[in-house]
């Protein structure tokens, strides 16, 4: 079991004030449960009203995915055996998504993309100090609701441009190998900490919440992290 601590060279630079709720989100942008978890996090943050700082960390659920991606049917067959075996799960996800305002449309998905460049776009968003949560929303919505190939550069330029990023900067980032190495280094770091699945939420560097927690659960975790009796301790329990 991992220690619920996550550190990167940026931690001291982006440290939140003691009164600020800090949430480090570990997610992949092609994970439906990450989309659900993101929406529930948004609702939980809105419910508590106070100042918050949300930072996103990359994780690829398919790190060996070819750069060109893979046809959806081929991917599902290799990973799960067949599309038919997953149909009930996709139907359930569709229903769960509707409760969160997400219109999952799996019929529009033709390919499973390599998500590395989408994570690089997120890193650019952080550097440019735009809302990375809004950018993540636009990437996730583009993939799951519109069936966009979020590995395609033109798609990323369109999504990034609509989120406040310059197409010129997006091209520079995707042409620069440094951003690829930064993202892969951050992903390696979270894996070394014991992360094996997503989404995960590290609250105030103290409570590590695993999975797409309900909004109510997240609000309770926020309260524990901010005001719990043991809030002066450096590490609190992992929350499943």
User: For domain 21-239, is the CATH number 3.90.550.10?
Assistant: no
Which pLDDT score, from 0 to 100, does residue 2 have?
39
pTM reported for the whole predicted model: 0.88
In the chain, domain spans: 21-239
- Per-residue DSSP letters for 70-109? EEHHHHHHHHHS-HHHHHHHHHHHHHHHHHTT----GGG-
- The answer to whether 149 touches 111, Cβ cutoff 8 Å, is yes
- The answer to whether 224 touches 207, Cβ cutoff 8 Å, is yes
Q: Is the pLDDT of residue 122 over 80?
A: yes
What percent of the chain has a predicted confidence (pLDDT) above 70? Answer: 88
Strand bridging mode 52-58 / 21-27? parallel
57-100 pLDDT, tens digit per residue, is 999 999 999 999 999 989 988 888 877 778 899 999 999 999 99
Helix (H, G, I), strand (E, B) or coil at 148: coil
């Amino acid at each position: 079991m991992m220690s619920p601590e996550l550190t990167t060279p940026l931690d001291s630079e982006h440290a939140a004030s003691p009164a600020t709720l800090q949430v480090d989100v570990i997610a992949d942008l092609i994970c439906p449960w990450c989309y659900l978890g993101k929406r529930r996090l948004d609702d939980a943050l809105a419910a508590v009203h106070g100042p918050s700082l949300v930072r996103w960390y990359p994780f690829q659920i398919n790190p060996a995915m070819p750069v060109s991606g893979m046809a959806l049917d081929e991917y599902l067959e290799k990973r799960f055996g067949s599309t038919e075996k997953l149909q009930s799960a996709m139907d359930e996800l569709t229903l769960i998504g509707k409760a969160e305002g997400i219109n999952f449309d799996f019929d529009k998905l033709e390919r499973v993309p390599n998500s590395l460049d989408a994570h690089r776009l997120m890193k650019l968003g952080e550097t440019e100090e735009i809302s990375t949560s809004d950018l993540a929303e636009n990437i996730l919505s583009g993939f799951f609701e519109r069936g966009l190939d979020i590995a395609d550069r033109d798609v990323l330029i369109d999504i990034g441009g609509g989120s406040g990023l310059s197409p010129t900067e997006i091209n520079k980032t995707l042409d620069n190998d440094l951003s690829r190495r930064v993202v892969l280094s951050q992903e390696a770091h979270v894996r070394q900490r014991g992360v094996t699945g997503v989404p995960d939420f590290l609250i105030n560097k103290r409570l590590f919440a695993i999975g797409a927690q309900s909004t109510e659960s997240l609000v309770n975790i926020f309260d524990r992290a901010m005001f719990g009796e043991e809030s002066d301790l450096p590490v609190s329990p992992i929350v499943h």
